Amino acid sequence: MKTKFWLALAASGGIAFGQDVDLGGVEKALQQLDSSGWQKQLDGSRMALEKLQAQMAFMGDSHFEALDFSGNAFLGNDFFPQGGDDSGETRSYSRGVRSLDKNQYEDAIRNFDAEIAAKGPRADGAMYWKAYAENQLGRRGEALKTIAELRRQFANSRWLNDAKALELEVRAQEGKPVNPGAESDDELKLMALNSLMQSDPNKAIPVLKRLLNSSQSPAIKDKAMFVLSQAGSADARQVLAEQAHSGNPDVQASAIRYLAMIGSDWSRTELANEYRASNDPHIKREILQGFMISGAKDKLLDLARSEKDPELRKQAINTLAQTGGKDELWTLYQSEQNADLRRQIVQSMLLDGDSAHLLTIAKTDRDPAIRKQAINTLALTGWGKDSGEMANLYRSETDPQLKREVINGLFLEGNAKVLVELARQEKDPELKRDMISHLALIHSKESTDYMMEILK
């Protein structure tokens, strides 16, 4: 089964490529990459491939091709792993939230307990949602104990206001029988609010605002923000902006995504203001993704130049590439002095398929490590296979180590024809042996014929 998609190759969200591929071929390519020093990237790519296969099995190929992979809005933020926030602990938190949305409260509690026990970066949020799940199961006493523990362990947490609202709700319900499987009327309320928003937004907006500040589930709050984002009124969008600037981190992250989807100059300015004001790396990463969704190349370029945090700066570079910012990345590359960031820019050029600039870097950069990465990245674009540029690059190169990188690149392309051609011309026995060892792993008529030629 073939489909067009963006496959993540870096756990930091740093490398991706879009092409028609056979999924079995992807797995083979991953094995090839494994032998080429790409272990960090492989961890993320295998995760992406597993999710891709699951999505395709569920929706079918035609539906899957219709999705927009320019951002994370359609498949969830963990489809492309985002570096330090993609730890096992944070994945436990994400799984817990998804279980809440499905009313699977026991599963949610188990996942939140894992985040809490590991002292993960979102342990305070996990403790709040654990108390929420306990309350939904009718375990009022346990919920109150969890809230008390949240206050004790996280005296400065941004979840404390939500915890206070939840505690009031729990105490009001104490002594009442509970049916965990009973359907609430929250969905009906939101449908009514959506209708009211169309006819009388002045009445609907205060109700939505109160809902966002209550102890509702993450799914309900997310839908409330969707209603606000679709309203079109300045007051509704102002409430959305307020949620993007304050509140618990989950609500804030959701509001940031909806602001990004609005895609106006006003919403991009609101996101930029929050980026400057926030000290939370998780929120800053959400805003970087928001800039990608809204196509804010100028703001991404500014952050790629000025951000002090190295990991956030790398993500700004990657995200700029995902917006198709070829010219912006090339300008950044030419002015950047830091070798690590220059390598990051080269790596990101695969995202926008900037083969022309990759070839220039592979030929002219003074840093051999950067030239090596440019050669590897150029090979992954597949651009040189038909143009013959990889062969030309090999012939013009004088450094034996970089010649080996070109050989490896030709192998990654599966370019047996050019490898055979170069092997016949190569005078250096070590380089020729390297080509033959790679050709032995490529199953093609050209490689088979050449092996027979050697045997004769």
pLDDT at position 365 is: 87
**Tokens, residue 442:** 């490529």
DSSP assignment of 247-267 equals: S-HHHHHHHHHHHHHH--HHH
pLDDT at 288 over 90: yes
pLDDT band for 71, please (50, 70, 90 cuts): very low
Could you tell me the two tokens for 37? 């020093």
| Other beta carbons less than 10 A from residue 410's beta carbon | 27
74 domain-assigned: no
Q: Are 341 and 290 contained in the same domain?
A: no
In this prediction, residues 238-255 reach a mean pLDDT of 86
Q: Note whether 202 and 247 are same-domain residues.
A: yes
Question: Range with the lowest mean pLDDT among 5-19, 172-186, 227-241?
Answer: 5-19
pLDDT at residue 27 tops 50: no
Mean pLDDT of 292-300: 91
In sequence order, which residues have a C-beta less than 8 Å from that of residue 151 and are 6 or more positions away?
160, 163
* 302 beta partners: none
Write the pLDDT tens digit of every residue in 99-135: 988 889 999 999 999 999 988 888 999 999 999 999 9
Highest mean pLDDT among 167-171, 196-200, 230-234, 367-371: 367-371
Q: What is the CATH number of the domain that holds 104?
A: 1.25.40.10
pLDDT, tens only, 39-67:
433 344 444 444 444 444 433 433 333 33
Coil, strand or helix at 280: coil
The Cα–Cα gap between 414 and 38 comes to: 17
- Give the model's pLDDT for residue 450: 87
3-class DSSP state of 231: helix
Task: Give me the percent of the chain exceeding a pLDDT of 90.
Answer: 20
Within a domain: 212:
yes
Domain final residue pick, 67, 101, 120: 67
Mean pLDDT of 326-331: 89
**CB-based contacts of 77: which residues, under 8 Å, 6+ apart?**
94, 286, 289
Q: How many domains does the chain have?
A: 5
Nearest to 342 by CA among 330, 351, 324: 330
Question: Is residue 270 located within the same domain as residue 200?
Answer: yes
Residue 108 CA, chain-centre distance (Å), reads 23
Question: Are 259 and 323 within one domain?
Answer: no
Within-domain flag for 238: yes
Tokens of 104: 């699977």
Q: What would the pLDDT profile of 394-404 be if each residue is shown by its tens digit?
A: 888 888 888 89
How far, in Å, CA of 194 to CA of 199, rounded?
A: 9
> CA 205 → CA 209, 213, 225, 305, distances in Å?
6, 13, 11, 39
Which residue range is the domain that position 165 belongs to? 84-173
Mean pLDDT of 317-334: 89
The confidence score (pLDDT) of residue 191 equals 67
- Contact partners, residue 154, CB within 8 Å, separation at least 6: 123, 124, 127, 160
The arithmetic mean of pLDDT across residues 351-355, rounded, is 80
